Amino acid sequence: KQEVTQIPAALSVPEGENLVLNCSFTDSAIYNLQWFRQDPGKGLTSLLLIQSSQREQTSGRLNASLDKSSGRSTLYIAASQPGDSATYLCAVREAGTALIFGKGTTLSVSS
């Protein structure tokens, strides 16, 4: 059974820092991996989607990498801002199934 783990569970940084969020999964037979953002009391917003054949995706200050063979992905946030404060969720898609989520990393960026 696929399990997705996110470390750390919570992270607090001062504004301007570069930071890395980690995601690991137990079964490397995935179709893709997706990073989401969730603000308190809100739904999920898709940030980046990496196909199993890809190594990384970039969007603005965000860069996500995927190492399928080792079962790991990282989300790099450059020059963090208070508006980046949210919970970041990693999810993988296997063949014929829906997304399987990690429990998330809650990020707090102080000004």
Partner 1 sequence: NAGVTQTPKFQVLKTGQSMTLQCAQDMNHNSMYWYRQDPGMGLRLIYYSASEGTTDKGEVPNGYNVSRLNKREFSLRLESAAPSQTSVYFCASSEYGRTGYGYTFGSGTRLTVV
* Contact letters for partner 1, residues 24-63 (x by CB under 8 A): -------xx-x-x-----xxxxx--x-x------------
- Would you count residue 11 as binding partner 1 (CB under 8 A)? no
Task: State which H helix or E strand residue 35 sits in.
Answer: strand 32-38
Radius of gyration over alpha carbons of the chain, in Å? 13
* Burial grade of 36 (CB within 10 A; 0-12, 13-18, 19 or more): buried
Minimum distance of partner 1 from residue 44's CB (angstroms): 4
**CB of residue 17 to partner 1, shortest distance in Å:** 26
Angle made by CA atoms 38, 33, 40, in degrees to the nearest 5 = 5
Rounded Cα–Cα distance for residues 50 and 73 (Å): 10
- Taking the least distance from each CB to partner 1, the nearer of 4 and 109 is 4
Residues that bind partner 1 (CB under 8 A): 31-32, 34, 36, 42-46, 49, 51, 89, 91, 93, 96-104
